[in-house]
Amino acid sequence: MKKRIHHFLTPKDADCRYNVRRRFTLQSTLLGVSVFCIIAAIAVGLSWYILHRRPIEQLFGGSRNVAIVAHPERVEAWRVGPLPESINWQDALFTDYPITSGPFLVSEATASEVSTALLSPRTYVWDSAKSCVPAYGMRLSFVNKSGRVDILLCFECDVLLVGRDGHFISGEDFDCSRAVFVRAAKEAFPNDDLMQQLDEDRFNDGT
């Protein structure tokens, strides 16, 4: 007949089991915290994209066009004249706006400032419509090996239009960064009286 063997926990064994359970509980807690932090980071990143990046990509017609504006090989400024009376502004093409002078190469410092403003969601007054008829006076062209993105700017009502290779994409109000674009216009057209008379605050220059 086999003898029954009794196992008795020594204080040392009890401490060992307690430490194992404690370590397991701590590891589980750390794992849970890590998973929560990862989910929170993903949620924050998604929220940032929805609130900031996506509206900009929609305005510029996609990430490729955003990349051209962000990293151009050169930025050109053109003076634009009024549309012919026979063309309605709502039906106009980029090529319908006559070029009166240019192109003038925009300095690297100014080009960087303009790019930053164009790609900042804080520049625009989203979901807002103005009743004025835009009178575009300047065109900025962002050029690199991937293509060309054109921006038409109206300083009378602070509205811009975005185009790619001559085709319109979208438009928006740029009231919050008017000063940046006015400085660029004055630099590009130092002998143009109308451009030099522009005020960085639209309500100070009578437009």
In CATH terms, is domain 63-204 a member of 3.30.1490?
Answer: yes
d(CA 105, CA 24): 65
Token code pair at residue 182:
């006015």
Distance, in Å, from the CA atom of 181 to the CA atom of 139, rounded to the nearest integer, reads 11
pLDDT, one tens digit per residue, over 81-110 is 988 888 887 778 888 888 998 899 999 999
How many Å apart are CA 116 and CA 110, to the nearest integer? Answer: 10
Q: Which of 32-36, 56-60, 92-96, 101-105 has the lowest mean pLDDT?
A: 32-36
Model's pTM, two decimal places?
A: 0.71
| CA atoms of 55 and 91, how far apart (whole Å) | 24
